[in-house]
Amino acid sequence: LWTAAHIIEDQIARVREQVGKDHVLLGLSGGVDSSVVAALLHRAIGDQLTCVFVDTGLLRWQEGDQVMATMAEHMGVKVIRVNAAERYFKALEGVADPEAKRKIIGRLFVEIFDEESAKVTAVGNGQVKWLAQGTIYPDVIESAGSKTGKAHVIKSHHNVGGLPDHMKLKLVEPLRELFKDEVRRIGVELGLPRDMVYRHPFPGPGLGVRILGEVKPEYAELLARADAIFIEELRKADLYDQVSQAFAVFLPVKSVGVVGDARAYEWVIALRAVETIDFMTAHWAELPYSFLGNVSNRIINEIRGVSRVVYDISGKPPATIEWE
């Protein structure tokens, strides 16, 4: 009988045997898979695990602090937080093409991860020999199939597929045989908060692909705040778990609004919420009008610089879930 507890025990034994006394490095993204791997490895090998969490400045509102609070403070996992927002914004300056942005974001992640792992080695953890990854069974199938298209690009960022050769790390992938729902159950069993384990997916490039065109720090802040209001209201209305993914998008378009007696030209926020089984096709979620109206009011009233909120009613196909 394979309960979550059994899978955990089994994987702990396997990991211990695999890595022995070696040190293991893990790129923590804040997502479900890498968080579950961190919790699992922490239980298996304790301080032989070092996680690197890169705060790109393109994460959800206060996500960096939340990851540290949960993983480092609550779970006791050794996490190095790298505050790299400035570096990301600098690298993205003037870049509007979505695939170019994805490449820059992915490349910077690898660079930073490489730098941090060199430091881990330098401070006397011995040679880091293992790289842990949150690869799950669907990823294995995916990369065995088509290598073209977004599906492959998707995980290549998060799963650090493109690490430099000189790192020569062997892989530990304790979730490789598991489906997402099993990963979630293990996460809960390991003591991760339910909210984190059942969170909607978040793309590797983060807000970088939800700010259309050029990414600027002020856009990122505004978007993260609008997104947080949307998510908070979804949770309050018990709608969060009924949609597969929901988020806000920043449109670099100025639309007229009246502020006091004057006309002001301010930004537009789009809200997207979808229902889907496999993320290959999706239906826009038929959220109640009153709910949408409430979210719109809050965003416009609470966030200076936004005067208009729209709701995306496009199905996939042809519209992808993300706007870029």
Minimum CB separation from ligand XMP for residue 95, in Å? 15
Q: Considering only residues 201, 217, 257, 305, which one is a binding residue for ligand XMP as defined by CB under 6 A?
A: 201
Taking a C-beta distance cutoff of 8 angstroms, is the pair 215, 324 a contact? no
Of the candidate spans 136-144, 152-160, 217-225, 233-241, the one that interacts with ligand XMP by CB under 6 A turns out to be 152-160
Under the criterion CB under 6 A, does residue 245 sit at the interface with ligand XMP? Answer: yes
Say how many residues touch ligand XMP, by CB under 6 A. Answer: 16
Distance CA(273)–CA(44), nearest Å, equals: 38
Is 75 or 270 the residue whose CB approaches ligand XMP more closely? 270
Under the criterion CB under 6 A, does residue 291 sit at the interface with ligand XMP? Answer: no
Under the criterion CB under 6 A, does residue 320 sit at the interface with ligand XMP? Answer: yes
**Cα torsion angle, 65, 68, 71, 72, sign:** negative
Distance CA(25)–CA(49), nearest Å, equals: 6
CB atoms within 10 A of CB 134: 26
DSSP string for 9-56: HHHHHHHHHHHTT-EEEEEE-SSHHHHHHHHHHHHHHGGGEEEEEEE-
For ligand XMP, the binding residues in 206-235 under the rule CB under 6 A are none
For ligand XMP, the binding residues in 251-290 under the rule CB under 6 A are 279
**Residue 146 annotated in ligand binding:** no
**Residue 30 annotated in ligand binding:** yes
**Residue 54 annotated in ligand binding:** no
* The pair of three-digit structure tokens given for residue 278, joined into one six-digit string: 């496999």
**Residue 241 annotated in ligand binding:** no
Taking a C-beta distance cutoff of 8 angstroms, is the pair 290, 214 a contact? no
* The pair of three-digit structure tokens given for residue 247, joined into one six-digit string: 């988020």
Of the candidate spans 33-41, 203-211, 257-265, 296-304, the one that interacts with ligand XMP by CB under 6 A turns out to be 203-211
**Residue 305 annotated in ligand binding:** no
Minimum CB separation from ligand XMP for residue 57, in Å? 17
Secondary structure string (H, E, C) spanning 69-137: HHHHHHCCCCEEEEECHHHHHHHHCCCCCHHHHHHHHHHHHHHHHHHHHHHHHHCCCCCEEEEECCCCH
Q: Considering only residues 154, 160, 175, 192, which one is a binding residue for ligand XMP as defined by CB under 6 A?
A: 154
**Residue 213 annotated in ligand binding:** no
Radius of gyration of the chain (CA): 20
Under the criterion CB under 6 A, does residue 27 sit at the interface with ligand XMP? Answer: no
DSSP 3: -
Minimum CB separation from ligand XMP for residue 72, in Å? 23
The H or E element containing residue 182 is: helix 180-189
Under the criterion CB under 6 A, does residue 321 sit at the interface with ligand XMP? Answer: yes
Q: Considering only residues 43, 60, 101, 157, which one is a binding residue for ligand XMP as defined by CB under 6 A?
A: 157
Is 167 or 319 the residue whose CB approaches ligand XMP more closely? 319
* The pair of three-digit structure tokens given for residue 276, joined into one six-digit string: 């889907």
Minimum CB separation from ligand XMP for residue 247, in Å? 8
Taking a C-beta distance cutoff of 8 angstroms, is the pair 25, 120 a contact? yes
Is 8 or 251 the residue whose CB approaches ligand XMP more closely? 251
Is 62 or 320 the residue whose CB approaches ligand XMP more closely? 320
Distance CA(94)–CA(96), nearest Å, equals: 6
**Residue 29 annotated in ligand binding:** yes
Which residues participate in the annotated binding site for ATP? 29-35
Name the residues that contact ligand XMP, by CB under 6 A.
102, 150, 153-154, 157-158, 201, 203-205, 245, 279, 316, 320-322
